């Protein structure tokens, strides 16, 4: 049995939301679209098909495409850390051979390993998905000396194919 206490921050949640958004094909397409608009504007300017104002509009549109998702996710992370009970209070996680138990604010939830779909590792977090869009988000900074035993347990219980 291994335990850790999570203190969610907006920066940590933002890191996870960025990974979640850009690991999907739609996130990739938004980046391609933004870059395509920028290159289109530059090519039109170089070939004298538009002026400085035209290329400025293309570059502004590209900036909107490329910056809107990170900006929206930053605002969502800030709001969620303020209003979501799991994020604004410390949450204690207990990892056993049978389940992951989380306790916060006098509430308890248990997730048997059989219900865990997958785990992902981001630069600042480990996300353990128990639904298509539902995950326990564990900041790496909160693991302390429990990182290795907990990560080994996650990897052993889920298998390599479900940890990325």
Q: pLDDT of 1-44, one tens digit each?
A: 899 999 999 999 999 999 989 988 988 899 999 999 999 999 99
The residues facing 163 across adjacent strands are 119
Q: Which CATH number covers residue 123?
A: 2.30.29.30
**Cβ pair 54, 45 in contact under 8 A:** yes
pLDDT at residue 132 in the model: 85
**Cβ pair 61, 13 in contact under 8 A:** no
- Among residues 55, 67, 56, 72, the alpha carbon closest in space to that of 30 is found at 67
Assess if residue 5 is contained within a domain: no
Instruction: Compute the half-sphere exposure of residue 97: CA atoms within 13 Å on the CB side of its CA.
Output: 0
**Cβ pair 7, 128 in contact under 8 A:** no
pLDDT at residue 34 in the model: 95
Question: Which of residues 46, 65, 83 is at a domain's end?
Answer: 83
Count the domains in the chain: 2
Q: What is the pTM of this model?
A: 0.86
- pLDDT 10s digits, 53-91: 999 999 999 999 999 999 999 999 999 999 998 899 999
- Distance from C-alpha of 103 to C-alpha of 90, rounded to nearest angstrom: 9
Assess if residue 48 is contained within a domain: yes
């Amino acid at each position: 049995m291994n335990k850790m206490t999570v203190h969610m921050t907006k920066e940590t949640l933002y890191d996870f939301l960025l990974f979640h958004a850009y690991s999907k094909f739609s996130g990739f397409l938004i980046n391609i679209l933004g870059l395509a608009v920028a290159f289109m504007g530059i090519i039109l300017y170089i070939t004298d098909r538009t002026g400085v104002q035209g290329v400025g509009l293309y570059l502004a549109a590209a900036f909107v495409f490329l910056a809107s998702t990170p900006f929206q996710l930053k605002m969502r992370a800030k709001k969620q850390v303020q209003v979501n009970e799991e994020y604004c209070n410390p949450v204690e996680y207990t990892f056993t051979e049978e389940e992951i138990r989380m306790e916060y604010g006098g509430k308890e939830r248990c997730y048997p390993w059989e219900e865990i779909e997958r785990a992902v590792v981001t630069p600042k977090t480990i996300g353990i998905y128990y639904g298509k869009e539902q995950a326990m988000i564990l900041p790496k900074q909160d693991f302390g000396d429990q990182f290795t035993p907990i990560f080994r347990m996650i990897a052993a219980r889920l298998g390599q194919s479900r940890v990325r």
